[in-house]
Amino acid sequence: MARKKKTKKKTSLPKKLKRLLIMLVILIIIFLILCLITPSSDTANGITADGSIKNLELPAPIDGEQIISHTGYTLSYNEEYELPSWVAYTLTRDEVLGTGSREDDFREDPLVRTGSASLSDYRGSGYDRGHMAPAADFKWSVEAMSDTFYLSNMCPQEPSFNRGIWADLEAVVRTMAYDNGEVHVVTGPVLTDGPYETIGKNEVAIPKQFYKVVLDYTDPDIKAIGFVLPNEGSDKALQSYAMSIDEVEEITGIDFYPSLPDDQEEAIESKANTADWNFTEFIPTGEMPDESQFEYVSPSSPKDMVLNEIISLFVDIKTEVFSLLGIEEIASSFGLI
């Protein structure tokens, strides 16, 4: 009697994993097409048709750090300290008049390839989750305000600092934006004066100081100012912490506003005159922005947005594969997901 041939049982990928892989392939193809049609960096980072400088708010990239774009702001993530080295955004007069409400939806950032700090890192630590890009600057958009609650935009701050002089400085920056039409802001922790104490399982560093730099690139009075403040409560006037951009660069090691023409950069960043700025804290008047005159343009290019989606998909695929292999907990314990 002839033996029946054994038929091999076909194995197929789970539907969810298959769908993620198909989406990944599609996004990679789109990304490659965008790479071919996107102008060169000289054009992309140069002067636009209306004479403004594209991405003026962005500092120079920092080696080994991931640059992430969210709605309304961009950050450079430092994996060693689980903090943003810098967070940059442009703030306009219309934006500070926004009336959106705060949701407090603190959460991990899915775009951080290595994983961002978590809520449990801050829980019971005694430190506030201090915004770098403040929620109150993003009341013009529900999505933008929500994006400010990613933990990649947070640093451990002493409560008396976060709710005191740091909040005062944030309110003053809103006044600066209102008075001048728009300002370009970069803010973050000073990460050159370690070692640092840490909080949580992810060992989130506790900064000793924070900085903020502000550029008004509107005619006729182009100007800039910087601040470095200790992570502690203070009753001193904000003006006493003011300094030039060059001085902040020396303290932080960060190159701010590299897109400025060299002659302007040298002139603007070498001095800071507090008399040129209004240090009154901004108080909303209830006036609504004229929506017909206002259109927000995200600093993210289509290529950057697709790349961020690809990175996010990689994270989902990795999680799905570990789950399929039954080693999700092991992978999580090693920080792989």
Q: Which residues are annotated as a binding site?
A: 162
CA distance 25 to 31: 10
- Report the candidate in 241, 245, 221 with the shortest Cα–Cα distance to residue 231: 241
Task: Answer yes or no: 131 catalytic.
Answer: yes
Helix (H, G, I), strand (E, B) or coil at 145: helix
Per-residue 3-state assignment (H helix, E strand, C coil) for 13-74: CCHHHHHHHHHHHHHHHHHHHHHHHCCCHHHHCCECCCCCECCCCCCCCCCCCEEEEECCEE
Considering the candidates 69, 92, 98, 131, report the single residue annotated as catalytic: 131
Residue list for the binding site for Mg(2+)? 162
Phi then psi for residue 85, to 5 deg, are -70, -35
Q: Where are the beta strands (DSSP E) in 196-240?
A: 198-199, 204-205, 209-216, 223-230
For tokens 């904000």, what's the residue?
Answer: 238
CA distance 56 to 88: 10
Helices and strands (DSSP H and E) totals, the chain: 11, 11
CB of 292 closer than 8 Å to CB of 251 = no
Measured CA distances, 289 to 73, 98, 102, 149 (Å):
20, 7, 18, 24
Helix (H, G, I), strand (E, B) or coil at 6: coil
Q: Could you tell me the sign of the dihedral formed by the alpha carbons of 267, 271, 276, 280, in that order?
A: positive
Question: Which residues form the catalytic set?
Answer: 131
